[in-house]
Structures are given as C-alpha cells and as structure tokens.
Amino acid sequence: MFRAPLDDLVFQLRHVAGLAEVAALPGFPDGVDDLAEPILAEAAKLAEGEIAPLNEPGDRIGARLVDGGVVLPAGYREMFATFADGGWKALPFPEDIGGQNLPWALAFAVNEVFYAANLGFSNCPLLTQGAIEAVWHHGTADQQRRYLRHLTEGRWTGTMCLTEPQAGTDLGAVATRAVPDGDGWRLFGTKIYITFGEHDLADNIVHLALARLPDAPAGTKGLSMFVVPKRLVDADGRAGAPNDVRCLSLEHKLGSHVSPTCVLQFGEGDGAVAELVGEPHQGMRCMWTMMNQARLSVGLQGLAIAERAYQEARAYAHERVQGRRDGRPTAIVGHPDVRRMLMTMKSQIEAMRGVVLTAGAALDTATRHADADVRAAAQRRVELLTPIVKAGCTDLGVEVASMGVQVHGGMGYVEDCRAPQHLRDARITTIYEGTNGIQALDLAGRKLQMAGGELPVELFAEFRRELRGLEVDGWSDLVTPLRDALAGAEAATRWLQADHGADADAVAAGATPYLRLMAPTVGAFLLARAAHRAAAHGHPAAAAKRTTARFYANQVLPPASALVGAVTAGSRDLDAGLFAAP
C-alpha cells in the first residue's frame, strides 16, 4: 500500500531546498511556505485514496484501441476529473491562465506524490504541463486565450509530437510537412511514440508538433512548431469538429501499460488544421521550452518509482519470515544484507530527492528574484542540474526497482506482486525525453563549457563551504569521504574541460561515467546538508539523517568516486572490432 513520504518531503523542502527563501521571492502569495504541508497532505489523500488503487488494473488491463479511439480502464476518467477539478495540473502557473501561482519546488514535491502513486497515469499531466509552457512562452495572445485555461484547468490535455519512423533523436530528419492554407496551415506526416496521443480522459487533446514549411532549410534549423488540436478550436476557444488526426495503433510495451503510446497520422485527408507557434523555423527553440521542463519531470518520475518500489520492498521485508536470528525465526529485515539493500534504496532516494527539490528552488529563483545577477546564477544552476536530475534519478529508478525485486526474492519475479511492474515501468524513463547517454553528453560537453566553464566551479565552491561548516562542528565521519569525493569530481571536471587534441571522442567517451560520478556526489553533499541542518534545528529526525548520510558516504559514494579513471580514460579502448559488420 502506497503512503506519500510527507515527512521527508516537508523536511527537504524546508531545510535543503530553502522553501522560506523561495516563498519570499516576488510574486508569490503571502504564506506560501505555510501552505506546503496542507497542500501536500491533500495531494497525499488523493494519491493514496484514488490514484494509487488504479495502478494495478492500469498495468493489467492497459490502454486499448477501440474503433480508432483509446479507452483507459474503468475508473480513470472519473479519477482524472477529480484530479483536474482540484487544480493539480497547474500549481506553478500564473493565476491569470488558470494556475495556482505556487513555487516549482513545491510543485515538484506534490508531483512526486502523484507520480509514485501511478507512474503510467502521470505521463498525462506531465506532458500537459509541457504544452502549457510552450503556448505560454511562445504562443500568440490569441492562442494563449483559446488554449491555456482549457489545459491548466484540466478540460484538455497536451502532447509533444517529435519522433517519426526515420527521426528519433535526430530531429533534423523530421519530414512532416506544413502546407499553407489561407491564414493557417495543414500538416501531413506520421508521428510515433506519442504518449497520451489519444485517450478518453479529456474533451480535447492539444498536439504540439514539429513540421517543415515549404521553404524550410534542411536539418533542425528548418523545423517549426504547430498547435494541432484533436478537435478544431473556434475563435471563442470552443472545441468542435474532429481534426484530420488519427491514432493508427498503440505500441505493445514492456511497461507503463496504462499510458497509451500512439502512432498518429496527421493528414490522411485534406490535412490536419494547424496553427504556427512562434516564428517560422524556430520550432526547436519552442520545443526546448517543453523539453527542458519535461526532463526535470521525467527525473522526478524516476525518483517517484524508486520511492514506490522501496516502500513495497520494506513492507515485504518486515512481513516475510525466513531464517533464524538469535535462535528464533526472523523476518528477513533482520538479515544484514537485506538491511543493506533497504538502506541503499532509502539513502539514494533521499539524496536524489534533495537534488530535485534544490533544482526546483533554483528554477523559482531564476524566474522571480529581483536581482538579475542572482537570477542568472540560479539559471546556471538549473542548467547544470537538469541532466543530473533526469539521468541520475531515472538510473536510480531502475536500480532501486531492480533491488526491490531482489528483496522480494523469488516472489519478486512473479507478477502476483507489484515489484515486477515497478521495474518494467521504470525502464522507459532512462530513454525518453533524451536518453541518459544524451543527458551525459549534454552535461560533460555543453554544460561544462557554458559561461566560461563556471557552472561546476560555482557548485564546487558551494560544497567547499558546506565542508567547512561540517569541519567546524566536528563531523569528521562525513568530512573525509565528502572531501575525497569532491576532489575526484573536480579532477574529472578539469579533465573534461581541457583540450584533448586528436582524441575528438574523449569527452563523449567519459560522459556517462562523469554523470554517474556527479549525481551521487551532489546527492552526498545534500544528504550531509540535510543531516547538518536537522541537527542545528534539533529536528526529531536528526540522528536518522546523520546515519543515512554516513551510510551513503561510506557505501554509495566510493564506487561513484572510483569512476574518475573511467572519465579520463579517453576513447582509445572503445573500438575493439565493433565497427566490423557482424
């Protein structure tokens, strides 16, 4: 049975992410920091009572294609209506477009609760959030008037339509055509892997699609973004006749069965009526607004499924009696190796939760702080943390879900328990919104070179200040491993920022090990921050936080720090006959 981790969410919002400072930023309503606990409690009530119970039938029955429409299992439409009526889709957006005007940090905490309750369903509000961002930042005033409130208030949902049969990561190969039609456009093309591209939850679906104008240059510079509604939208924002968009099929997937992954055909007849969003040939700029937000949210999905898998593994470990301890039958939680697995899961979840909420606080600061220099510094932090959140948390989701299967033993390999579903559901998160290899390339290649290489330098300087505070208070059990980890991260960073001459692939070869070094390093420092601040405030969980931070520093951090050699090895060992045809 799922229970929202409210205690740690509230603790980390207040003591790691700095919710009080975020709430004091310009434009937030008074008392936002005091609203966090009641808002999270209400989210937990909905998640535990209505959303989580649909997770198992959603996996077992899945989304079905019936007469060209997609039908979700019984209960989902009613649950979605309750979710939308509560305003949960639009927490961080302005009130004038139907939002709640709350911090992203708080929204991330709330969304973790919903995502953990039902990961497959969570794709629907996640993508709608991206569509809101795109129309809000790049749409015309008329488009904002006709679309945004429907999306924020939950009557309509949104999608991101990028991938085509011949164009996956290489969006420069997108071939969908946009043909002029009076003052508008008509689209012709096929999009694949479109999550929630068709469903029966809402009255309309707003597709954000990439396509090419007739005079478009080749590659990504020739892409434009379009709004393509499932049902045509009139001048007053009302949905009417069906558009020329059809779901041809659903993918049969490893997991996330309740989340319909669609093949969409735009323009089987006269063409799908479409509206240009932003300037011609600026589609990638518009799409990145959606993509960057989606990457943070997908990272949050990885964290959420890890929490769900951990809760069920912990409960099973207390229930399953096997073996003896001190001459008496014992539940398996009494065995040290099982406790090692559970502590590994728990510490990693708390570490990455700190990273996610810190990224949310940085996002709030970057958009609202009165000082332009502070906003710029916070935006640099968001840029640096985004690939760490996306890849670090989704790698974590897979690892923790797999470990959850291991805790269950043989039962974990049987579909009668939920452990296999969590592993199946988690697996896609490392792939979509840019595979984790792409996130690593973004971090090690692009992000380390931005702002003259200052992004990691600023982070490391902050961590050195954390170390000094720990040293002053005599926390040597954390200072030594953290200092060693920081030295390794700095050495790996300097190597990646250097000129590697003839070895053009050197940075790319070290990118994934670097990300797998950086994510636990950042997590370790935030766990130490959590423990240190809990002690300073006399928090009841102070002793447990210090134990968790120490376990992480001694058990999780050393293998990550050992990756410095892999980061700096270059590319010479990657070519052992792999280019020869099999």
Helix ranges restricted to H, 442-504: 454-472, 476-497
Residues 6+ apart with CB under 8 A from 349: 303, 306, 307, 310, 396, 400
159 pairs with which residues across the strands?
A: 207
List active site positions. Answer: 433
The Cβ-side half-sphere exposure at 526, using a 13 Å CA radius, reads 29
Residue 245 · residue 275 · CB < 8 Å: no
Q: How many residues does the chain have?
A: 582
Angle at which helices 419-427 and 283-319 pack, to 10 degrees? 160
| Total Cβ atoms within 10 A of residue 385 | 27
The Cβ-side half-sphere exposure at 470, using a 13 Å CA radius, reads 26
Of 249, 242, 245, nearest to 267 by C-alpha is: 245
Residue 210 host element (H or E): strand 204-212
Name the DSSP class of 213: -
Residue 564 host element (H or E): helix 564-567
Residue 167 sits at φ, ψ, to 5 deg, of -135, 95
Longest Cα–Cα distance of the chain, Å, equals: 84
Rounded to 10 degrees, the C-alpha dihedral 528/533/538/542 comes to -20
Residue 266 sits at φ, ψ, to 5 deg, of -100, 120
Distance of CA 327 to the CA centre of its chain: 46
Distance CA 334, CA 329 (A): 10
Helix ranges restricted to H, 167-282: none
Residue 348 · residue 306 · CB < 8 Å: yes
| Total Cβ atoms within 10 A of residue 134 | 25
Q: 428 by DSSP, 3-state: which?
A: helix
Of 489, 481, 470, 465, nearest to 384 by C-alpha is: 489
